[in-house]
Amino acid sequence: MKASDVAIAQAVVDKMSAADLQIFDLLGIRIASVEPGRARVKLKVREDMVNSHRYAHGGIAYTLADTAFAYACSSENDSIVTLSAHVVYTKAAKQDDELTAEAVVTTRGSRTGTCDVEVTNQHGDVIARYQGVYFRRGQPIVEA
């Protein structure tokens, strides 16, 4: 991996996270790392994020996975939009769980690609698996 690729990925993170600041603050999302084609984001499940069964609302894991997806797919400085996303929930998250979403771009076409995301808790238990398909808009996010 070239240093210039890492620098571009960081510039993309800086620009995107500035725009995403309100939702990040609302949910407590933290960007742990981003490099070309990969991203890791985290959040802690709070009391106001659990449903009537005392499990984290499914939208919390989905939003975390979708955020990791967006940062991984955009990390090479190409604005993307999601064409489709599919999530499978494998275990319920609970209040105070520390969730981590790890995204890896798995295919890159000239205009579309796919990205797999795994959401785990602090014990390494898989909470959800997400697969998304994205469309590359052909527009840079930052000036290279």
Q: Which two tokens stand for residue 121?
A: 């808790």
Q: Which two tokens stand for residue 130?
A: 């997400």
Name 102's bridge partners.
Answer: 40, 118
Helix (H) or strand (E) holding 131: strand 126-136
Contacts of 123 (CB under 8 A, 6+ apart): none
Whole-structure pTM value: 0.95
The 3-state DSSP class for residue 88 equals strand
Q: What confidence score (pLDDT) does residue 144 get?
A: 67
pLDDT tens digits for the chain (144 residues)? 687 888 999 999 999 999 999 999 999 999 999 999 999 999 999 999 999 999 999 999 999 999 999 999 999 999 999 999 999 999 999 999 999 999 999 999 999 999 999 999 999 999 999 999 999 999 999 986
Can you give the three-state secondary structure of 32-85, one letter per residue? Answer: EEEECCEEEEEEECCHHHECCCCEECHHHHHHHHHHHHHHHHHCCCCCEEEEEE
Please provide the size of the chain in residues: 144
The domain spans of the chain are 3-136
Q: Cα 55 to chain center, whole Å? A: 21
Q: Which two tokens stand for residue 96?
A: 């105070």
Secondary structure letter of residue 11 according to DSSP: H
CATH number of the structural domain 3-136: 3.10.129.10
What is the helix, strand, coil percentage profile of the chain, to 5?
Answer: 30, 40, 30
